[in-house]
Amino acid sequence: MEDILGDILGFIIELFLEVLLQVIFEEGVATASRAHRRFRIVPFLRITLSRTDPALTVLKFTLLGLGLGFLSVLLLPHPLVHPSRLHGISLLISPAITGLVMGYIGRLVRRRGRAAVRIESFAYGFICAFAFALVRFFFVH
């Protein structure tokens, strides 16, 4: 019985830490994108809601998620918590939660009258987080 409870608790902690890590990285990207609009320093991150092609944006966020995933593997080369029996489930749950959080942040930003960046939507947040989680899934053991 203690093994099952330990596995469930480990899964919940792993899920929470992965979502937290993804949101921190993605909020850094959103902040850098907003800073770019003010200071014009990072042309790759110039992705406002009304200007770019959706297919190109999907490619950009996939590559960004892969890059951030590899960076996180370099910084944290071990699992954040002990892997549970449901190891692969985090490939769907973590990006879904991250997408929901990013969509909520986007709604808050638009409600305050500011222009949201594309990553502040469910779809693009999910894509970036999925690529991030995929890299961690394959390279962290």
Per-domain boundaries in the chain: 2-139
Residue 88 has pLDDT above 80, yes or no: no
Residue 96 CB-half CA count within 13 A: 6
Please give the pLDDT value at position 36.
54
Please give the pLDDT value at position 48.
47
Residue 116 CB-half CA count within 13 A: 19
Question: Within a 10 A sphere around the Cβ of 91, how many other Cβ atoms?
Answer: 16
- At 49-67, the pLDDT tens digits run 445 688 888 898 999 999 9
Strand ranges in the chain using DSSP code E only, listed in sequence order: none
**DSSP-assigned beta bridge partners for residue 48:** 117
Q: 55 vs 35, 59, 62, 89, 133, CA distance in Å? A: 24, 6, 11, 27, 21
Strand ranges in 40-86 using DSSP code E only, listed in sequence order: none
Greatest Cα-to-Cα distance within the chain, rounded to the nearest angstrom: 57
Q: What is the pTM of this model?
A: 0.65
